[in-house]
Amino acid sequence: PFHVGKASVRENLISQRAQEHGIPIIYVNLVGGQDDLIFDGRSYYFNKEGEKVVQAKAFQEDLLFFPLNEKANNCPQEDMLKDVFDALVLGVRDYIHKNNFRKVVIGLSGGIDSAVTVAIAVKALGAENVIGVTMPSKFSSVGSVKDSQQLATNLEITMYTLPIKECFESYLKSVEPLF
């Protein structure tokens, strides 16, 4: 399964084994998300000199054809930040599809956490399948509501505003006897 930096560790290991035994190695890896595991694909062919000749795409299915006597080539290098983003997108996409969900609803706070979450969801599922909800209360700043609206506009998602002042006050009143 994928973790940050795994590609480099894997490549070094395969390269060392190919050199050590003087044989080419074809490494085939699964692609997809399963609960809390993400498999990044990125299958490889290393020649007997331990040089990476060809590499399949990361975080998506790929099919490679190549001659076994090929020399090293310019394969993509690991990009940890992109890998983390792509892993999150793949995990969300597979989870949603494997559970037969059609849409997701995400609370928009105007902060970076909900912005990143919505960006991942849009990349994984398409803007038409992501709904944003902002729930302003006395604790919400004007800026956070505007930021949520701007995010929804930028990502072209549907957004609903559901003020929660009355719900919050009702909740406080219902728990008042406990305090």
Q: Tell the residue number behind the tokens 């992501």, with chain if given.
A: 130
Q: Over range 8-33, report the average pLDDT.
A: 95
**In angstroms, rounded to a whole number, what is the distance separating the alpha carbons of residues 130 and 133?**
10
**In angstroms, rounded to a whole number, what is the distance separating the alpha carbons of residues 78 and 111?**
29
Could you report the per-residue pLDDT of 128-170, keeping only the tens digit for each? 999 999 998 888 888 888 999 999 999 999 999 998 888 888 9
Q: What is the mean pLDDT of the chain?
A: 92
Higher-pLDDT residue of 40, 71: 40
Task: Tell me the Cα Rg of the chain.
Answer: 23
H and E: helices and strands count for the chain = 5, 8
Q: Which two tokens stand for residue 46?
A: 């290393």
State percent of the chain over pLDDT 90. Answer: 78
Give the strand order in the sheet containing 104-107.
104-107, 130-134, 158-161
Could you report the per-residue pLDDT of 46-76, keeping only the tens digit for each? 999 999 999 999 999 999 888 777 777 777 7
DSSP state of 111: S
Phi (first) and psi of residue 148, to 5 degrees: -65, -45
Asked if 145 and 151 touch (Cβ cutoff 8 Å), the reply is: no
Q: What is the pLDDT of residue 66?
A: 80
